[in-house]
Structure 1
């Protein structure tokens, strides 16, 4: 089985930081994955609540067994919250922002790791995230032809209670096991991820380059090969972001989307 969940969120009610290319990103990932034999489900805007994303990932993992593949793509805001269990060197837990983040908070990297750990042995789990996974998780936007160029940083103050500490860990440091999933992300920990436009159509800069290079890869290309191809175009002068691959040595050599 090859199962995929593609999430794209432009609309963030309760905040002033809407995005433009994320729904297109999700549609483009869904088309590419369908062409490669995946059974794809999409969650867009209001359908992409925190509960829906958590349930969607858990459902895919519960249906797979040794030899199957699961791919989750996420395009939307990222953010951070104070690290409460001491497993983050920068004292911040990175997170993605569901549609209802203002009301119900973000989905933390710790929780994603716990979800992915439920995968059966031998299942290849891949997370492709067009958002920034760092202490300053951000998407920025280039002008869309009408002068709009807002900063895409969803500040923790948007959803954290007033007075929450933001710069120091509040628990002894612990060691968390490596996530069972391979992560291909749009940028390094300290960088930003950008919205862009290509031929007048909004997309994430990373998503556009990742899919363009994917189409040109040989059938036996590995994730290391794919990252090398993406990095031939990013970072660029317009989009100074360096896509990153977080994976075990074995995962680096997996055949792309196989």
Structure 2
């Protein structure tokens, strides 16, 4: 008898409270997503791992495990290790993103690579996500939502379905987001400056030297030897913006620009748009439709970011999180 399909999720929200890099809506994003996974997609609460950096003082269901780089990678590795063919795996990240320039003698196209910024600044890069997806069993799917700046392309070498190369964007028609919204972006120099104080390595060195000095084997695989080609996979990335764009963190107030994107609760513009799309379409919607409709909603609200989709052709038109149509009565 065929085993029941598993639905597994890892949700990460980093608000960086009490630091110069503080955000407001990231933990709210993953709390809302956890509720949606349970109520709409049938995930069991016990199969959802939540990592947040709050202290529990705001009633947002704090996590017992901080979202450090090592803890995030460990949670994702454990989720993948439990997976079997046919299973549905989901990862939602809300927090800062950054771009990492190539070290001299590394890389082949000269373009910087994308990374997310855990609460301890131990960067997780597109190479790490590529390697993770390559370990997903054939026939299972790994869907990743990253509501962070420069999140386009966060699964290295995944095929672009919606993005700057796959279509033409009406960027000129967009107006800037609300002045009170903050970009979920840390400049490379800020990341290096933060790490150099702890690593003891001169700030003129590449971020790899700081990360290897501080985190050793827990540093991104991008900065250690790796030589593996991507394999056909079930990786699906829904990014909050293009590689060259920022994603907005919307404050929780009555600001007119925020209304309808997050209401009165702080949120990520893309995470909130996704929630609105899913709420407005109770029937299964494809990955392509989720991204396209979220794009249109953000454009109408004046947010200057363009969500993107990276996956195989088949997964582009597959239902988001493999939701099945309810049988007619």
TM interval, shorter chain, is 0.7 to 0.9
More helix as a share of residues: 2
Identify the residue that residue 51 of structure 2 maps to in structure 1. 43
Work out whether 1:177 is the aligned partner of 2:230: yes
Identify the residue that residue 171 of structure 1 maps to in structure 2. none
Work out whether 1:253 is the aligned partner of 2:320: no
2:100–2:114: 8 Å Cα contact kept in structure 1? yes
Identify the residue that residue 92 of structure 1 maps to in structure 2. 112
Aligned residues: 240
1:86 and 1:12 mapped to 2: Cα distance?
35
Aligned partner of 1:121 among 134, 138, 151:
138
Taking the TM superposition and a 5 Å limit, the aligned residue runs for 1:1-258 are 1-11=6-16, 15-35=19-39, 36-38=41-43, 39-45=47-53, 47-84=66-103, 85-87=106-108, 89-101=109-121, 105-133=122-150, 142=178, 152-160=184-192, 161=196, 162-164=203-205, 177=230, 180=233, 181-196=235-250, 197=252, 198-236=262-300, 238-258=302-322
More strand as a share of residues: 1
- Cα gap change, 1:227/1:111 in structure 2, threshold over 3 Å: closer, same or farther? same
User: What is the root-mean-square deviation of aligned Cα atoms in Å?
Assistant: 2.7
2:183 and 2:248 mapped to 1: Cα distance?
9
SS at match of 1:133: coil
1:253 and 1:247 mapped to 2: Cα distance?
10
TM-score (normalizing by structure 1): 0.83
TM-score (normalizing by structure 2): 0.66
How far has the Cα of 1:241 moved from its partner? 0.8
How far has the Cα of 1:76 moved from its partner? 0.1
How far has the Cα of 1:149 moved from its partner? 5.7
2:14–2:118: 8 Å Cα contact kept in structure 1? yes
SS at match of 2:320: coil
How far has the Cα of 1:191 moved from its partner? 1.5
Q: List structure 1 runs of 4+ shifted beyond 4 angstroms.
A: 140-143, 148-152
Larger Cα-atom Rg: 2
1:142–1:195: 8 Å Cα contact kept in structure 2? no
